[in-house]
Chains A and B, each alone.
Chain A
Amino acid sequence: MRKEIIKLNVGPQHPSTHGVLRLLVELEGEVVVSCDPDIGYLHRGIEKLMENRTYHRSIPLTERVDYLAGAANSLGYILAVERLLGIEEIPPRARYIRVIVAELTRIASHLFWLATHGHDLGAMTPLFYALRDREVIMDFFEKWAGKRLFPNMFRVGGVAKDFPDGMEQEIRKFAEELPEKMKDYETLLTKNPIWINRTKGVGVLSIDEVLDWGLSGPMARGSGLDFDIRKVDPYLGYDEFDFVVPLGKNGDTYDRYLIRLEEMRQSCRIILQALDRMPKGDIMIDDYKVAFPPKEKVVNGEYLIPHYLLVVKGFKTPKGEVFHHTEAPKGELAFYIVSDGSEHPYRVKIRTPSFVNLQVISKLAKGRLLSDLIALIGTIDIVLADVDR
Chain B
Amino acid sequence: MDIKKYTEKILSALPKEAVKSVQEFRGQVSLIVESERIIDVLKLLRDRFGFRYLIDLTAVDHLPNEPRFEVVYHLWCHAEKRLIRVKTFAKGEPPTISSVVGLWSTANWHERECYDMFGIIFDGHPDLRRILLWEGFDGHPLRKDYPVEGRDEKRNN
Interface residues of A in 205-219 (CB under 8 A from B): 211-215
State whether A323 and B74 are in contact (beta carbons under 8 Å apart), knowing that A211-B52, A232-B81, A338-B60 are contacts in the complex. yes
Q: In whole angstroms, how far apart are the Cα atoms of A86 and B58 in the complex?
A: 24
A-B contact count (CB 8 A): 91
A9 within 8 A of B: no
Given A356-B109, A359-B109, check contact A336 B56 (CB 8 Å): yes
Bound CA–CA A45/B28 (angstroms): 27
Pick from A40, A45, A83, A336: contact of B26, CB under 8 Å: A83
Q: Kindly state the separation between the CA atoms of A52 and B141 in the bound complex, as whole angstroms.
A: 13
A21 to chain B, nearest CB (A): 13
A52 touches B148 (CB 8 A): yes
DSSP majority for the A interface? mixed
Distance in Å: Cβ of B131 to nearest Cβ of chain A? 6
Distance to closest chain A CB from B87 (angstroms): 9
A14 close to B (CB within 8 Å):
no
Residues of B within 8 A of A232 (CB): 78, 81
Smallest beta-carbon distance B58→chain A, Å:
4
Say which size band chain B's interface belongs to: 35 or more
Q: Are B132 and A40 in contact (CB under 8 A)?
A: yes
Q: Assess whether B26 is in contact with A84, with CB atoms less than 8 Å apart.
A: yes
Is A325 engaged at the interface, CB distance under 8 Å to the other chain? yes
B78 touches A40 (CB 8 A): no
Q: How far is the CB of B12 from chain A (nearest CB, A)?
A: 24
User: Looking at the complex, which of B3-11, B36-44, B88-96, B100-108 is the stretch in contact with chain A?
Assistant: B100-108
- Which A residues are CB-close (under 8 A) to B52? 211
Which residues from A are CB-within-8-Å of B106?
Answer: 212-215, 356, 359
Q: Are B104 and A212 in contact (CB under 8 A)?
A: yes
Residue of chain B at shortest CB distance from A388: B132
- How many residues of chain A get a CB closer than 8 Å to chain B's CBs? 40
Among B81, B109, B110: residue with most chain A CB under 10 A: B109
Binds B, one of A184-192, A196-204, A278-286, A343-351: A343-351
CB-CB < 8 A to A211: which residues of B?
52-53, 78
Smallest beta-carbon distance A73→chain B, Å: 16
A39 and B26 contact, Cβ closer than 8 Å, known pairs A211-B53, A323-B74: no
B87 to chain A: closest residue by CB: A321
Closest B residue to A359 using CB positions: B109
A332 interfacial contact with B, CB 8 Å: yes
**Given A212-B104, A214-B53; A49-B148 close (CB under 8 Å):** yes
Contact status B108-A336, CB under 8 Å: no
B83: chain A residues within 8 A (beta carbon): 233, 323
A35-52 CB contact bits vs B (8 Å, 1 = yes)? 000011001010111011
Cβ of A258 < 8 Å from any Cβ of B?
Answer: no
> Which B residues contact A (CB, under 8 angstroms)?
25-26, 28, 30, 52-56, 58, 60-61, 72, 74, 78, 81, 83, 85, 104-106, 108-110, 113, 117, 130-134, 141-142, 146, 148
Taking A52-B148, A232-B81 as known contacts, 14 extra A-B pairs with beta carbons closer than 8 A to each other, sorted by chain A number, are: A40-B130, A45-B141, A47-B142, A48-B141, A225-B78, A227-B78, A233-B81, A233-B83, A320-B26, A336-B56, A336-B72, A347-B60, A351-B55, A363-B105
27 CB-based A-B contacts, threshold 8 Å: A40-B131, A40-B133, A43-B133, A45-B141, A47-B142, A49-B148, A211-B52, A211-B78, A213-B104, A213-B106, A225-B78, A232-B81, A233-B81, A233-B83, A321-B85, A322-B28, A323-B74, A332-B55, A334-B74, A338-B60, A346-B60, A347-B142, A351-B58, A356-B106, A356-B109, A356-B110, A359-B105
